[in-house]
Structure 1
C-alpha cells in the first residue's frame, strides 16, 4: 500500500519535455500520508493528476493544499474520493475552490462515510459555498472535523453552519478562524 507520493518540480523546458513520467516520480512508502510537491494547474499537472487519481483510492491522508487547482481540479479529484474506503483526511486548502466547485462534493460526501476530516481553508467559498456544504453535510455520517478558516464566510454562512450543527451530531470540530461576520 503506497502511503506517500511526491512529484518533483517540473523543469522549465519545452512543453513536450516537461511531461511527468514514471522515472520523474519519487515514491515513498511512509504510511498514511501523501504530498504532491510543486504541482501546478496546467496541462502537465492535469496529466499528473490523471495518473494520481487512480492511486488516490489507496491513501489514508490526501494533502493537495496550495496547488491552486480550482474548481476544475476538484471536479476531477472528487470522483476518485467518492467510494474510497481508506482516505480519512483530505486537505484541499488554498486551491481557489469556489461555491461552484463544492457541488462536486455532493456525491462524494453522500457516499463516503470513511472521510473524517475535510480542510477547505483558504478557498473563497463565501456564504454560498458554506450553505452548499451544509446541505451536503446534513446527512453525512463520517465528517467529524471541518476546517473553513479564511474562507470568506459572513453572517449567512455562519447561520448555515449553526443550523448544520443542530442536525448533524457526528460533526464535532469546526474551524472558522479569519472569517468576517457582523454578529461576531
Structure 2
C-alpha cells in the first residue's frame, strides 16, 4: 500500500489492516500503533467534552434563593437572612422587617415562581408606592398566595393603583389587608374596577385610611355588583352622614356580605338611619360594628325598630355611643322580638338603668343573649368610710 493510501485511511479515522499483505507487515504494525493512538485521543476528547457539558449545566434553583441573592447584589442591598430561611414556608411573616421599596423589589422576583407561600405578611415595612407596585406585579404571576397583609406601608395613590390593577386579573387572593396606607378620597376610583371585577376576594380590610364621600359612592356601586366579598372592614375612615347612605345603598343590594365594620367613622344619626335600612333589607349580614359613631337616642331608636324585622343578624356592636337610657332600651327591645336572632349585643361604655337590667334578665330567660354594657345607674350606694374618725368622708360603692 502506498503512503498516499495510508494517509487517506488515516484521515478516515481508522485504518483497515485486512487488506495488507505479508510483505507489508512492518507497515501493519506501525499503522496499528497509529490507530491505537488515534482511538486513545478520541476517547480523551470524548471525556473532555463530557466534562465541559457538565460544567455548562446549571443546577435548577427551585427555591429561588440564588435568584434572590443575585438581585440583591445588583440592587446593592443586604439580603435578608430571615427571608432566605423561610421563603419555602407556607406562612411567610415579614412584618416589621424594614424591607423598604428595594427590598420589596428583591423578594418579588423569587416569589413570582414560588409555590410554597400561601400567606404573605408584609405589614409595616415602609414599602411606599414603589414597593407596592413590585408586590402587585409579583401577584400577577403568582397563583398560590391567598392571603396578603400589606398594611401600614404608606402605599399611597401609586400603590393603590397598582394593587387594584392586579386585583382585576388575580383570582387567587382570598384575603387582603390594606389598612393604614394613606389612601385618600381621590384614590377611591381605583377601587371600583378592583372590587367590581374581582371574583376571588372574600375578606377586604380598608380601615385606617382617609376615605370619605367619593369613596362611599364608589364602594357602594362596586359592592352592589360584587358577589364574592363576605367580610369588609371600613373602620377608622371619614364616612359622615350623607356618604354613609351612599355606601349603604350598595350594601343592602349585596347578597353575599356577612360582616361589616363601620366603627370610628362618626356618621351620627343620619348614618344610623342608613344602617337601619340595611338591617331591614339584608338577609345575609351576620355581624355589624357601628361603635364610636356619635349615635344618639334618635339613631338608636331607628336601629331598634329595624331589629324587629331582621332575622339574620347575630352580633351587633353599638358601644361607646351617646345612646341615652331610652336609646339603649330601644335597641334591647328590638333584640327581644321573637324573630330576632341576635346572640351578642355589645353596648360597652353605654350607661343603663335598672329597668334596662331587669328587661335584659327577662329576655335572657327566654332566649340565648349575651349583653355587654356600662354602669347601671341607681345601683350605687353612698356610705360612710369607717376608717375615717370624723365620719364625714363618703364612699360610693
TM range (shorter): 0.7 to 0.9
Closer/same/farther in 2, CA of residues 175 and 42 from structure 1, 3 Å limit: closer
- Say whether 1:112 aligns with 2:112: no
Closer/same/farther in 2, CA of residues 98 and 47 from structure 1, 3 Å limit: closer
Q: Calculate the aligned-residue CA RMSD, in Å.
A: 3.0
Matches within 5 A, 1:59-78: 59-78=201-220
Query: Does the 8 A contact of 2:219 with 2:247 survive in 1?
Result: no
Structure 2 gaps of 5+ residues are 1-118, 140-144, 148-172, 326-351, 353-397
- Say whether 1:82 aligns with 2:208: no
- Say whether 1:29 aligns with 2:29: no
Structure 2 SS opposite 1:128: helix
1:49 Cα deviation (Å)? 3.4
Tell me, in whole angstroms, the C-alpha distance in 1 between the residues paired with 2:204 and 2:277. Answer: 24
Tell me, in whole angstroms, the C-alpha distance in 1 between the residues paired with 2:297 and 2:189. Answer: 39
Deviations 1:116-153 (A, max 9, x none): 11110000111111012212331211111110011111
Q: Which residue of 2 aligns with 1:166?
A: 308
Tell me, in whole angstroms, the C-alpha distance in 1 between the residues paired with 2:298 and 2:290. Answer: 14
1:83 Cα deviation (Å)? 2.2
TM-score (norm 2): 0.39
1:68 Cα deviation (Å)? 1.4
Deviations 1:99-125 (A, max 9, x none): 211222344233212101111000011
Greater helix percent: which structure? 2
- Say whether 1:126 aligns with 2:259: no
- Higher-Rg structure is 2
Tell me, in whole angstroms, the C-alpha distance in 1 between the residues paired with 2:266 and 2:238. Answer: 6
Query: Does the 8 A contact of 1:4 with 1:32 survive in 2?
Result: no
Tell me, in whole angstroms, the C-alpha distance in 2 between the residues paired with 1:151 and 1:67. Answer: 16
Closer/same/farther in 2, CA of residues 166 and 42 from structure 1, 3 Å limit: closer
Structure of greater relative contact order (alpha carbons < 8 Å, 6+ residues apart):
1
Structure 1 SS opposite 2:301: helix
Query: Does the 8 A contact of 1:56 with 1:80 survive in 2?
Result: no
Closer/same/farther in 2, CA of residues 123 and 62 from structure 1, 3 Å limit: same
Tell me, in whole angstroms, the C-alpha distance in 2 between the residues paired with 1:179 and 1:168. Answer: 22
Tell me, in whole angstroms, the C-alpha distance in 2 between the residues paired with 1:52 and 1:139. Answer: 26
Q: Which residue of 2 aligns with 1:9?
A: 128
Tell me, in whole angstroms, the C-alpha distance in 2 between the residues paired with 1:49 and 1:151. Answer: 24
